[in-house]
Amino acid sequence: MTRVDLLVPVAALLVACGGAGGGKSRTQADFPPRPRNCPVEVLESSPTVPTQNIGTAVARCTADIDDAACMRQLQDEVCALGGDVVWGVSMPPKVVEGGKQLSGRAAKRRPAK
């Protein structure tokens, strides 16, 4: 077996394993958590400004929590994900398992070019 014959499988293995484990995920590295009660823009439809999607944010609230407090809980979830926008949010909250739920796509505004 030649040196090249040995290097090809090793190189293939390194490429295959390159994305597995070790280091922070893109979300953790690019979008550090923001403090609770940070400002978050809430949108029913998709943003009209450039944003980077982070992931889904969900707030599950008890039935005795008013809708505004449940919305603030959703915004705090977006803050924890490092976002400043949540879109695709429908009001009123959905009724689920004796409580209510709000969800949306957490995103971070990108600077205009």
pLDDT of the chain along its 113 residues, tens only?
A: 555 454 445 444 444 444 444 444 454 568 999 999 999 999 999 999 999 999 999 999 999 999 999 999 999 999 999 999 999 999 999 999 899 999 999 999 998 77
83, part of any domain: yes
- Per the CB < 8 A criterion, the answer to whether 60 and 80 are in contact is no
**Token pair listed for 49:** 């400004």
The pTM for the full model equals 0.74
- Note whether residue 14 is domain-resident: no
Cis peptide before 47 (omega within 30 of 0): no
**Residue at 41 is within a domain:** yes
Tell me whether residue 3 is in a domain: no
Helix residue spans in the chain (DSSP H): 3-17, 26-30, 67-81
